[in-house]
Structure 1
């Protein structure tokens, strides 16, 4: 009888162990929630590193990833192509083994490391503008092709089918290097493209075709906003990173024109939108050496204004970075760290900056505090200064 009582007590004790014993840690819950919603990167925070104009090694990029708190950030964009430099070693472009570049194997390793830290690694190969270095490589290794795909000194001819084929081949090299992720993305570019007003339909077709190609490869696509006109044929599947309606322009005459021509946030409401507000979320890497400037930037970022977009003010014809767009379903911001030509970097300052950005928002802290409740397994969570170099 005594043995039976012991068995009964043991069974009951197993049945009524407090659920908190089996509860996941706060970090596990937040990381899993992060991964579940990572597909909607417009609702999460991210960081862009300009490794084209400020090259970093594989090891240095992994140091940055190690400091990215997955409770605060979901993705890291590597800006690999700009006028000054192509940082990705492409067989198509003939720059395999070039100095200050990342190989396909490097990107594979970085992607694996990012996945381990619950971060999505997004390659950003900007076309058809900002392609001066790319055209230089082509002129050296494939001069005939270079002549066919060139629109001007730093722009690929986006009306040419051969240009699309070339970019698809380059992007496919990147796809293979960065594919082993649950939610892979490719940033296609679209930044400051020459002639975008005159030939905008062709430009949007260019991105639609590249997006369709990426979708077939299992990737989603992102482009910058400033080359998208109000009336456009851009696929709604494409995510738009909105940095400024007026771009980097401040002249009132140009802003008047751009106000009439360029898409506002409301015009793009059917696209997933990333807030990359140039006035609040852009920082030159050289400014990391200015503690006061960095402190001001972090303070602004921590105010958490994901619905403040940079639109043109038609009252005084200036840029207004605080245009609140309550209709936009976004809780995320993209911090863009841009570099200049031949600009060095200070890893210690960069790492310290990433650490200081990691501080969870008050809303996130309150979410974490709820994790210890007894309903842990059914708990749901809501998604919760200016440089001269532009993206």
Structure 2
């Protein structure tokens, strides 16, 4: 392979670049001089410049990913002379896969990672458990693991493969709701009349913390850990659960209610994740709701918010989270929810529909004027009816969506 003239690149980083060149069969043989410059500028948004003449190539980027993207663009441009500058409008460009309800193979994830890289996506979220499945090997609760699952060895293989393409993995283990599969084997920890954890029971909380610790260790190289938090109960009826109300009044404050028990639990898990080196993330639907304008317990400021819906008018608008200083990632269910079987009244996204999306647009036509607190966007696969599509069909759908989203999230200009 032709040697590079490199600036600010380590030997390991050069090896990663050489992997991309070889993997994508990028032809550099006709070039007499190749210069790759890494110039970090403190920005989280990838940016790179690509200059190519008949004999020379120079890529300057603020991130290692930028250099990799620049090399990959050589195949996309098709021109022998280019002088272009590329800027990402969002720092995080993600895909989320519900591999809790449906089993997806290692081969599927590798093919997905490759497609994500070509479209300059840099984040893959793994939703590992849900009411209908728990699909990751466990030493602590092996009896709860579904018949088809990813082993820890396979998870490490996926993580390592993603790293080669500059893609970070975000694990998600949803609680206190969406735990029917696990709690079916441990009903003593289940909140009566729900699919959720009994967060008024300290022993139940400690039991689930132990499960989390098992996966904190497995995903130690990840920066973020998503703790779920959505659809625990019907939040407007949370005070119909006497256990939650009693816990709040006995352990938090005499004025506290069921929502405070919920927030108290989320904050405990956030603290555990933070102490383990992660930035915790949480879904938006149970937070800052209109019914509970002044809860005793305030949501931890350590969280980042994954904003997916405002189907209920009582749910907080996205601006509320921004005004409180939270970083927000846009999971807009109106555009970016590919729900298998078109369950829950969802319809499969179309290229035409996604093309109408604006980068500052959130669910229910909420528009944000200042996107500085908007960290990213995610395309999401939910497997409500797992057998409605094969993993091949899911991958095919994602490969149609991603180029359209890429066009929205990157600015390209001539230099």
Question: After superposition, where does 1:29-108 map in structure 2 within 5 Å?
Answer: 30=66, 43-69=91-117, 72-95=120-143, 98-108=146-156
Whether the 8 Å contact between 1:94 and 1:137 is mirrored in structure 2 is: no
Distance of 1:342 and 1:349 partners within structure 2: 12
Which residue of structure 2 aligns with residue 237 of structure 1?
A: 302
Distance of 2:34 and 2:155 partners within structure 1: 45
Which residue of structure 2 aligns with residue 246 of structure 1?
A: 311
Q: 1:131 to 1:97 in 2, by over 3 A?
A: closer
Q: Deviations over 1:190-241 (max 9, x none)?
A: 1111154531112112111111111111111111111113445111220111
Matched, 1:217 2:276: yes
Matched, 1:129 2:172: no
Matched, 1:285 2:334: no
Q: 1:264 to 1:195 in 2, by over 3 A?
A: same
Which consecutive unaligned segments of at least 5 residues does structure 2 have? 1-32, 36-50, 71-87, 240-257
Secondary structure in 1 matching 2:162: helix
Distance of 2:118 and 2:368 partners within structure 1: 26
Q: Deviations over 1:23-70 (max 9, x none)?
A: 337896626799xxxxx9974221111112221122222221121126
Secondary structure in 2 matching 1:283: strand
- The RMSD of aligned alpha carbons is 3.2
Matched, 1:325 2:368: yes
Whether the 8 Å contact between 1:281 and 1:333 is mirrored in structure 2 is: no
Which residue of structure 2 aligns with residue 380 of structure 1?
A: none
Secondary structure in 2 matching 1:300: helix
Distance of 2:201 and 2:336 partners within structure 1: 34
Secondary structure in 1 matching 2:209: helix
Which of these residues, 261, 265, 269, is aligned with residue 206 of structure 1?
Answer: 265
Secondary structure in 2 matching 1:361: helix
Distance of 1:97 and 1:339 partners within structure 2: 17
Which residue of structure 2 aligns with residue 154 of structure 1?
A: 195
Distance of 2:302 and 2:210 partners within structure 1: 21
Distance of 1:363 and 1:86 partners within structure 2: 33
> What is the CA distance between 1:362 and its match in structure 2?
6.2
Secondary structure in 2 matching 1:187: strand
Give the TM-score taking structure 1 as reference length.
0.70
Secondary structure in 1 matching 2:95: strand
Matched, 1:345 2:389: yes
> As a proportion of its length, which structure holds more strand?
2
Which consecutive unaligned segments of at least 5 residues does structure 1 have? 1-16, 35-39, 139-145, 248-254, 288-292, 311-320, 371-391
Give the TM-score taking structure 2 as reference length.
0.67
Whether the 8 Å contact between 1:124 and 1:189 is mirrored in structure 2 is: yes
> As a proportion of its length, which structure holds more helix?
1
Which residue of structure 2 aligns with residue 357 of structure 1?
A: 401
Q: 1:188 to 1:29 in 2, by over 3 A?
A: closer
* Larger RCO (CA under 8 A, 6+ residues apart): 1
> What is the CA distance between 1:155 and its match in structure 2?
1.0
Q: Deviations over 1:82-125 (max 9, x none)?
A: 11111122222223875211122221111111111111111111
> What is the CA distance between 1:356 and its match in structure 2?
2.5
Which residue of structure 2 aligns with residue 194 of structure 1?
A: 233
Distance of 1:162 and 1:285 partners within structure 2: 36
Distance of 1:211 and 1:174 partners within structure 2: 15
What is the count of residue pairs matched by the alignment?
A: 312
Distance of 1:363 and 1:78 partners within structure 2: 22
Q: 1:205 to 1:353 in 2, by over 3 A?
A: same
Distance of 1:80 and 1:107 partners within structure 2: 11
Which residue of structure 1 aligns with residue 79 of structure 2?
A: none
Matched, 1:366 2:412: yes
